[in-house]
């Protein structure tokens, strides 16, 4: 296999720092690595993460020192448990291994003082073949759902002061605090009420949009007319 062909199979490659390892009866052996920055999490955003009994994405592992020297007897397989970023700890990714015995010999530390490694991960499918990352990226870009008029309408509505006031009332917030409700609060409330994870769902799922009309739009327009006057709310398409 030529170098460029091999590179197509690399799901992640870069420097990581051993943050911590743990082994318990509930979660099994797991190892957490700190990444250089938030952008390094991108390869794991599209990967399957462990949820309950569902296994996370499987990877072949090639481990080297921070200088690129191969590490003998290093684990050669892992499963993705999670990837996250916080203001305090930065970017990190957690894998489950067969055991944590190999990692006990190295220094760990949440603040970046742990042992540094160069790690290469190759994503493996259920049929034991590696994933062509380039082809997968092209496919995902071609099939990625794009926002349409409904999701844009919902986003515009969430930014409107009258709707923010309405959400303050619906969430039983004291009236003197309605002015504190913002677009993010409205966004979370709308998604929860309609049972969607993204506003884009309104563009692709008719049932989701029907729930929005029934649970959000119509009650909101009714409230607008009672609170502001009979002619209010017509700019939102009310009748």
Q: Alpha helix locations (H) across the chain?
A: 3-7, 42-45, 133-143, 149-158, 161-170, 183-194, 201-204, 206-212, 218-228
Is the pTM higher than 0.85? The answer reads no
**How far lies 51's CA from each of 32, 54, 90, 95, 99, in Å?**
17, 5, 22, 13, 20
Q: Please compute Rg for the chain using Cα positions.
A: 24
**Sequence ranges of the domains in the chain:** 3-143, 149-236
Three-state SS string across 25-72, please? Answer: CCCEEEEEEEECCHHHHHHHHCCCCCECCECCCEEEEEEEECCCCECC
Class of domain 3-143: mainly beta
Enumerate residue ranges in the chain where pLDDT < 70: 1-5, 50-54, 111-112, 136-143, 230-239
What pLDDT score does 17 carry? 95
What pLDDT score does 45 carry? 83
What pLDDT score does 178 carry? 84
What pLDDT score does 179 carry? 84
What pLDDT score does 3 carry? 44
Residues 26-54: tens digit of each pLDDT: 778 999 999 988 889 988 887 877 666 66
What pLDDT score does 237 carry? 45
Q: Are 165 and 233 in contact (CB under 8 A)?
A: no
What pLDDT score does 141 carry? 64
């Amino acid at each position: 296999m030529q170098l460029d062909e091999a590179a197509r199979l690399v799901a992640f490659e870069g420097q990581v720092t051993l943050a911590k390892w743990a082994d318990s009866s509930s979660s099994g052996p797991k190892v957490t690595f700190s990444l250089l920055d938030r952008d390094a999490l991108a390869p794991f955003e599209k990967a399957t993460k462990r949820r309950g009994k569902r296994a996370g994405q499987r990877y072949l592992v090639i481990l080297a020192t921070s200088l690129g020297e191969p590490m003998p007897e290093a684990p050669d397989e892992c499963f993705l448990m999670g990837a996250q970023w916080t203001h305090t700890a930065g970017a990190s990714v957690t894998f489950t291994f067969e055991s944590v015995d190999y990692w006990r010999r190295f220094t760990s530390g949440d603040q970046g003082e742990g042992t540094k490694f160069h790690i290469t991960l190759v994503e493996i499918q259920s049929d034991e073949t590696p994933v062509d990352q380039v082809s997968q990226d092209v496919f995902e870009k071609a099939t990625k759902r794009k926002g349409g008029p409904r999701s844009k309408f919902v986003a515009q509505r969430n930014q409107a002061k009258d709707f923010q006031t309405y959400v303050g009332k619906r969430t039983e917030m004291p009236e003197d605090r309605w002015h504190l409700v913002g677009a993010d609060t409205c966004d979370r409330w709308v998604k929860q009420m309609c049972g969607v994870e993204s506003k884009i769902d309104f563009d692709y799922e008719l049932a989701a949009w029907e729930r929005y009309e029934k649970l959000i739009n119509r009650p909101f327009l009714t409230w607008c007319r009672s609170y502001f006057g009979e002619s209010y709310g017509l700019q939102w398409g009310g009748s």
